[in-house]
Amino acid sequence: MDRGAPSPAASPNGSATVPVQPTHGPDHPGRQQPPTGQRSAAGRADARRTEARPETPPETTTRLRPVPVRASAPARPAPPPVPPSRPTAPPLRPERGGAWAPAPRPGAGEPYGSGRNTAAHYGRGTPDPAFSWSASTEAGASGSGRPVVTFAQPEGYDENARPYPLGRRFRSQVVAAAVCLVLGVGLIGGAVAGSWLAGDSGEAGESSGFAAAGNMWHSVPVDELFPPTLQGKGAGPGDADRTWTRTAVAPDSGCEGAFDPLLRKLLAPVGCERLLRATYTDATQSHVTTVGLLFTEADAAAMASLADRFDKERLDRRSDLMPRPYAAKGTAAAGFGAGQRAAWAISVLTDAPVVVYAVSGWADGRDVDTPLPAEDAMESGTTTAPAQAGLGHEARGLADRVERGLRKNVGADTEQSS
């Protein structure tokens, strides 16, 4: 029997009956209706075939007229299942030796593309590799497989928030930098030239001042070189004030008999152009001091060499190089001889061809066994008689003030000549 053919209907007594050909009935014109028994059996068979599909209840109008059932629209496809937010751990697979290892990720060897659900592998929120920079471009697009990206010309904004191309600003910055470079080079060059010219003018000024100082012995009045009265504010022991009065001025002369032989030999390299001397006494006329200005014949280099020798060999502290005093008859210094010298000071100038010195002693003509350099006699705690009497302060104070007067006259003479 054919599996698709309907089975013959059975009568109530169990005998088989031949199915009757369908007749045309009122319900379906042109269709033959089976007998009642067979119709019921066929209805049950149809019910079994259609029991899986629910029937749509017939719709009626307000007049309760049966309305034929229309074919229902196809059902919408069910939405695809939402994958989990995070991929689940891959199952373990057995390996040799009984060890377990994670199974390979599904589709690990597959290329990325539109036929693969990348969200299932990377989870929600992960970008599709198909849209990465390494993805191929559309068909017909030129390039090596990377998307073509172009950038516009960069812009900037000025102080008024107006856009402008940065290239223009870069050019202006280059121009400004070049201008600054030129100005900087010009300023540096001007400074170098100015310093060079100033150095030359300074050297010329020093040379003219040095030469002018060498002529002071005959161009400056004696009262300016050796003022009749000198004030020594704070020049005495304990910063006491001093006042010195000039008692005698020696006539200008050479250096014959003015120095001891050893000191004359030491000063011989610079020569002796002129020697000026004057003797002062203090306000009490207890102390006398002779101040001398030796104008040499040397140049600046020779004077610098002599000053360096005095400084290195400390020649200004040797008692055998002590200058001689000028003792004028009929004055408080009449008895001021070589044996009465108690303190002295010598300075070799380098900006003028001059040696300044001073030597002091007592006005009563007492002898001094141990004379001291002025710096040693001025030290605190020195108990010798010259130190206690302040003779070191007398020699140093007068020498410094006569030297200042000389420099002052040199400056004034240089300004007038310029």
Dist CA 285 CA 363 (whole Å):
7
Q: 3-class DSSP state for residue 8?
A: coil
The pLDDT assigned to 245 comes to 96
Q: Single out the residue of 217, 214, 234 nearest to residue 226, CA to CA.
A: 217
Are the beta carbons of 390 and 237 closer than 8 angstroms? Answer: yes
How do residues 61-91 score in pLDDT, each as one tens digit?
Answer: 455 556 555 555 555 666 666 665 555 555 5
What is the pLDDT averaged over residues 1-8? 44
**Count of other CB atoms within 10 angstroms of residue 397:** 28
Decide which of 316 and 145 is more confident.
316
Q: Is the pLDDT at 124 greater than 90, yes or no? A: no
Which residue in this structure is represented by tokens 């005495």? 236
Q: Is the pLDDT at 202 greater than 60, yes or no? A: no
Are the beta carbons of 333 and 288 closer than 8 angstroms? Answer: yes
Plot region of 17 (φ>0 → left; ψ -120 to 50 → alpha; else → beta): beta
What is the pLDDT averaged over residues 341-363? 95
The pLDDT assigned to 189 comes to 75
What is the pLDDT averaged over residues 102-110? 55
Plot region of 125 (φ>0 → left; ψ -120 to 50 → alpha; else → beta): left
Query: What is the share, in percent, of the chain residues with pLDDT greater than 70?
Result: 54
Mean pLDDT of the chain: 74
Dist CA 362 CA 389 (whole Å):
9
Lowest mean pLDDT among 63-77, 102-116, 227-241: 102-116
Q: Is the pLDDT at 25 greater than 50, yes or no? A: no
The pLDDT assigned to 130 comes to 55
How do residues 339-348 score in pLDDT, each as one tens digit?
Answer: 999 999 999 9
How would residue 252 be classed by pLDDT, with cut points 50, 70 and 90?
Answer: confident
The pLDDT assigned to 99 comes to 53
Q: Where are the beta strands (DSSP E) in 274-411?
A: 274-281, 287-295, 343-348, 354-362, 372-373
Query: What is the share, in percent, of the chain residues with pLDDT greater than 90?
Result: 40
Dist CA 18 CA 254 (whole Å):
181
- The CA-atom distances, in angstroms, between 71 and each of 55, 56, 67, 74, 306 are 11, 10, 12, 9, 136
Question: Bridge-partner residues for 295, per DSSP?
Answer: 274, 354
How do residues 363-383 score in pLDDT, each as one tens digit?
Answer: 999 999 999 999 999 998 889
Q: Single out the residue of 350, 344, 164 nearest to residue 259, CA to CA.
A: 344
Question: Bridge-partner residues for 100, per DSSP?
Answer: 94
Dist CA 397 CA 294 (whole Å):
18
Question: Bridge-partner residues for 10, per DSSP?
Answer: 16
Q: Is the pLDDT at 157 greater than 80, yes or no? A: no
Lowest mean pLDDT among 52-61, 80-89, 208-217: 52-61
Decide which of 161 and 266 is more confident.
266
**Count of other CB atoms within 10 angstroms of residue 341:** 23
DSSP string covering 205-248:
HHHHHHHHHHTHHHHS-HHHHS-SEEEETT-SGGG--EEEEEEE
Q: Is the pLDDT at 177 greater than 90, yes or no? A: no
Q: Is the pLDDT at 34 greater than 70, yes or no? A: no
Dist CA 387 CA 393 (whole Å):
8
What is the pLDDT averaged over residues 393-402? 96
Q: Is the pLDDT at 153 greater than 80, yes or no? A: no
Question: Bridge-partner residues for 290, per DSSP?
Answer: 279, 359
Decide which of 396 and 43 is more confident.
396
